[in-house]
Structures are given as structure tokens and as C-alpha cells.
Amino acid sequence: MSDTPMSVPGLCDDPAMLDEWYPVARSREIVAGTIAPTTLLGRDLIVWRDAAGTVHVWDDLCIHRGARLSKGWIKDDTVVCPYHGWRFDGQARCVHIPVAPDQPIPPKARAFPVRAQEQDGLIWATLGNPAHPIPAFPARDLPGFRTFHAGPYTYRANGFRAVENFVDATHFPFVHAGLNGVPDAPDIIADYDVTQTADGLVSSEISVFQPVGDFRKIPVQAGYTYYCLRPLVAAFSKRVTIVDPAQAHLGSPDDRFVTMFTVQPVNEVTSIARVIFAINFAPDLTELDMLPRQDVVYNQDRDIVETQRPERIPVDLRAEMHHRSDRMGVAYRRWLRELGITYGVIA
């Protein structure tokens, strides 16, 4: 963890959470010449891009008198503090103190960077030393898939609650009525398995009927395989089979809709979800054709997840109540507990 002069109550001190990568912005949002504020695990940060294209994530704090660098600006490829105009370069060194431009600058005059990396169109940052690489978008190297982004969606809710919702196929008829399920004819969910691997959790396929299961706006039988890749990164691969034989020509038996759901834990009860998705069908559909459906679905999820109490997810399986159809959620909670996570959970 990079050293910081801050001592702020509520900052995360859970190594299991600090030693993870989290998205903090979408790559294309951060253009050279601008500074974006954000918060990760309670810690206020700035995200900026230098003229060479490298992204930097620093504490949102000037070492001189503690002003917020996010209120500053970029000049000559340096971050200018808005209070007394000190400037910090891409190495996080102070390179200019306006009241004494010709005097040597003390080495202690610097910004506080955290590790940052771009992958799959997102800027990821970590406050610790992750043992795992950033999880790859599962469809990245699959031939024939087109990839898109949706969100960000801000949930006034716990990130683990948001991920558990993402890997839950039994809420579709009620939360996504008319899209991913039918409230008057909810699917009976057959038993499925969840396996724990070195890469997290994976379910066997869960089959559900969806009246508008993808962007073609036609009924499909959908087969979900869920993955928990990291504590706040999950994915599904969904096989979509057109139900009406008269419309079957609109697709093929190999049609798939792959989604990765990532959460930036702003704090224990505020989360920013970003979604990467890819399809290998309907080549005529554009991002603009698809985003409205994504926005509807994730806003519906957000609305229900924001109601959940207690806000922090209980990882003691004696809390709340589990049905056999909740096998993925149960495995997820058990996994969080095994990982030793304390931040954002009720032990």
C-alpha cells in the first residue's frame, strides 16, 4: 500500500480487500488534460492521463496543505494544486513551487500514487498488493464477439449485495418482469451445481425462459453459466436459443451473450457497477440499440438491491435464509468468508 499522510476514519484496513484490483473509471472517460475525482474503499483519489497516454491514480490530496488536487487542473502535463499552485508531474514529483521557482524542491514534495492499469476498456487501481491479476473479460479472445460497455451504475448499496444479485437467476420474473422473466409463470429452477476453482466459483448451466432475453426483442430460452472471478467481479455466459421456430433464422445454436459485472467499492454501502458485455449474434445491432435495455435491467437491479437490509452482506450462513435455488449465493458468501474479508460484510 502506498504511504499517505491521511488518517481518515472509515478507511478500509482489510488486507483482503486492499489487495484486489477494482475499476475506478472507464478508459475513454479519462482524456488527457482533465482530472477526475473518485473514491475507492473510502479513499479519495484522482484519475488523470498524461500527454503520453499513461493513466495515473493518486490520492486526492496535496502534501503542502492538504487541498484537493481534484479541484486543480492540468498544465504542461502536470497536475496543478488549486491552492498555491504547486505542480506535480507524471512521476508524482513536485516540479514547481510558484513562490520560489528557482529554488530546489524538497524531495518530500510529492503526490501519492496508487497502482493503476488499463484493461478491457477500464482503468483498474489497487490500494494494496494483489496476488491475482486483473480478471480478463471472458469473451475478449473469443472469435466472432463484439464487445460493448454499459454503466456506470451507482448503487447506494453494498458491492457484495450487488454481485450476489448479478449471479442470481431467480429474481428475473419479478425484478425484470416482461424482459428476463414472466411474473405469472416464473421458472422452476432445476438443481444446479457450483464448483470452486483456483479462479473463483462457477455454476453449472441454469435454464430460464425470457420473453425479451436479449437485444433482438424476441423470446428465448436462456442458459446461464455464472462465474465469480474475484470478490467484486462476476460474469455470466448466457446461451440464447430462440423459442419460436418461425424466428429461429434470426439466430443460431451458438448464440451467446457474455457479461462481466465489476464493482468499484466506493465504501461499504456505495458501489459503482460497470458492465462489459459481448454478443456473437445480431451483427446489425449497434451500441445505441443495446444500451437502453442494459440501463433498464441494471436500474431495476439497483432499485431492489438498494432496499436490502442489513446493508452489509452477512457471510455467516445462519443469517438470512437460504433456499436450494440460492446455491450460487450461498457459495459466494462462503467464499467471501474463506477469503477472510471483513470490510463490507457482517461476519
* Residues in contact with ligand FES by the rule CB under 6 A: 62, 64-65, 67, 81, 83-84, 86
Phi, psi of 287 (to 5 degrees): -55, -40
Least CB distance to ligand FES at residue 256 (A): 51
Instruction: Please state the separation of Cα 172 from the chain's center in Å.
Output: 21
In the list ligand FES, Fe ion, none, the entry touching 81 (Cβ below 5 to 8 angstroms by class) is: ligand FES
- Helix 159-166 to helix 287-305 angle (10° resolution) is 120
> What's the number of CA atoms in the CB half-sphere (13 Å) around residue 268?
17
> For residues 67 and 243, which CB has a smaller minimum distance to ligand FES in the complex?
67
> For residues 37 and 340, which CB has a smaller minimum distance to ligand FES in the complex?
37
In the list ligand FES, Fe ion, none, the entry touching 96 (Cβ below 5 to 8 angstroms by class) is: none
Residues 218-237, interacting with Fe ion (CB under 5 A): none
Residues 267-326, interacting with Fe ion (CB under 5 A): 301
In the list ligand FES, Fe ion, none, the entry touching 62 (Cβ below 5 to 8 angstroms by class) is: ligand FES
C-alpha cell at 47: 484519475
CA 205/CA 328 separation, integer angstroms: 11
Compute CA distances 86 → 32, 61, 69, 108, 163, whole Å.
Answer: 19, 12, 10, 13, 41
| DSSP string for residues in 248-306 | GGGS-TT-EEEEEEEEEEEETTEEEEEEEEEESS-TT--HHHHHHHHHHHHHHHHHHHT
C-alpha cell at 142: 473469443
Least CB distance to ligand FES at residue 76 (A): 16
> For residues 110 and 146, which CB has a smaller minimum distance to ligand FES in the complex?
110
C-alpha cell at 283: 451483427
| DSSP string for residues in 151-163 | EEEEESS-HHHHH
> For residues 81 and 235, which CB has a smaller minimum distance to ligand FES in the complex?
81
Strand partners, 242: 220
CA 148/CA 222 separation, integer angstroms: 20
> For residues 94 and 336, which CB has a smaller minimum distance to ligand FES in the complex?
94
Q: How many amino acids of this chain bind Fe ion (CB under 5 A)?
A: 1
164 scored as a contact of Fe ion (CB under 5 A)? no
Least CB distance to ligand FES at residue 88 (A): 9
Least CB distance to Fe ion at residue 165 (A): 6
In the list Fe ion, ligand FES, none, the entry touching 301 (Cβ below 5 to 8 angstroms by class) is: Fe ion
Least CB distance to ligand FES at residue 67 (A): 4
Least CB distance to ligand FES at residue 140 (A): 40
User: Which residues, including other chains, have CB under 8 Å from residue 36's CB and lie 6 or more apart?
Assistant: 25, 29, 30, 46, 47, 48, 70
> For residues 97 and 218, which CB has a smaller minimum distance to ligand FES in the complex?
97
Least CB distance to Fe ion at residue 171 (A): 6
What residues line the site for Fe ion (CB under 5 A)?
301
